[in-house]
């Protein structure tokens, strides 16, 4: 049995890489739905259907626990999946929880009333679908008071990353950051609310300035998964080594993944 990592494309590789570093003996199967990327401009129903299809493919690989390493899928599909679709012996986890825990400095199971937290002005950079869902603001409001969140939909960034055009991606990041700063001139923290965005983290930090703390999800998700598996060891297994699957063209996806992560990533057809 392995743990599955699902994303609409290449972005989830940042999470996969962090999990592999934190849990080197954990077998992982990665699935990128590159044929249908990006998810961030799709309808909620479309995202739900595609995400369910991807999770089912990972179940077929023996992954009873699947991480949705995609903020758009986590925002638009996860709650509906857990309430109406998920089998009792399977688990699907998203990437919002670790970020909210880090920002509010409280565990997910802490149901005490919302309280003041260290930061008051937060910039959220995410796909249009994630921004439209308001899932981040909704979950944050359950746990914190007095936090002003300014969300910037970052159209085009995922497309540029998936195409391997780093110069275009950097230019788009700069443009989106400038647009947000016109509305919130002095954010204290910035959330990179898409797992593609850590590939552009230096560009975000450069545009925001050194005074803004940038929260990137990969390490937080890996640490949260390690804790989850400690509490639920039944999802640990001794499956095969890591595999990388894609609904797109394996050769093209392998090339783009290798370009961004600076190491060979051999994808197979899903």
Radius of gyration of the chain measured on its C-alpha atoms: 18
> 58 with 30: CB under 8 angstroms?
no
Q: For residues 56 and 82, give the distance between their C-alpha atoms in angstroms, rounded to a whole number.
A: 14
Is 63 among the catalytic positions? Answer: no
Count of Cβ atoms closer than 10 Å to residue 145 Cβ: 11
Task: Determine contact, residues 190/212, Cβ cutoff 8 Å.
Answer: yes
Catalytic annotation present for 70: yes
The count of other CB atoms within 10 Å of the CB of residue 181 is 18
Give how far Cα 134 sits from Cα of 82, 149, 231, Å. 18, 10, 30
Cα(155)–Cα(158) distance, rounded to whole angstroms? 8
**Cβ atoms of 129 and 40 closer than 8 Å:** yes
**Given the residues 52, 63, 70, 154, the one annotated as active site:** 70
Which positions are annotated as active-site residues? 70, 194
């Amino acid at each position: 049995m392995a743990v599955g990592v699902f994303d609409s494309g290449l972005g989830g590789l940042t999470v996969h890489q962090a999990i592999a570093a934190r849990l080197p003996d954990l077998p992982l199967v990665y699935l990128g739905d590159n044929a249908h990327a990006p998810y961030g401009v799709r309808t909620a129903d479309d995202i739900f259907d595609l995400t369910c299809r991807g999770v089912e493919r990972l179940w077929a690989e023996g992954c009873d626990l699947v991480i949705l390493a995609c903020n758009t899928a986590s925002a638009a599909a996860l709650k509906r999946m857990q309430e109406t679709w998920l089998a009792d012996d399977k688990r699907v986890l998203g990437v919002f929880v670790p970020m909210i825990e880090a920002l509010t400095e409280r565990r997910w199971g802490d149901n005490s009333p919302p309280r003041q937290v260290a930061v008051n002005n937060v910039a959220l950079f995410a796909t249009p679908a994630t921004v439209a869902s308001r899932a981040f603001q909704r979950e944050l409001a359950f746990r914190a008071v007095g936090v002003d969140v300014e969300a910037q939909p970052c159209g085009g960034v995922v497309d540029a990353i998936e195409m391997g055009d780093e110069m275009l991606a950097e230019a788009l990041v700069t443009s989106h950051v400038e647009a947000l700063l016109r509305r919130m001139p002095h954010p204290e923290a910035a959330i990179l609310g898409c797992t593609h965005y850590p590939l552009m983290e230096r560009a975000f930090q450069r545009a925001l300035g050194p005074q803004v703390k940038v929260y990137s999800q990969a390490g937080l998700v890996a640490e949260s998964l390690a804790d989850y598996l400690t509490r639920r060891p039944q999802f640990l297994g001794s499956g095969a080594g890591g595999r990388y699957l894609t609904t797109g063209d394996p050769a093209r996806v392998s090339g783009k993944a290798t370009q961004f992560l600076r190491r060979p990533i051999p994808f197979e057809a899903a």
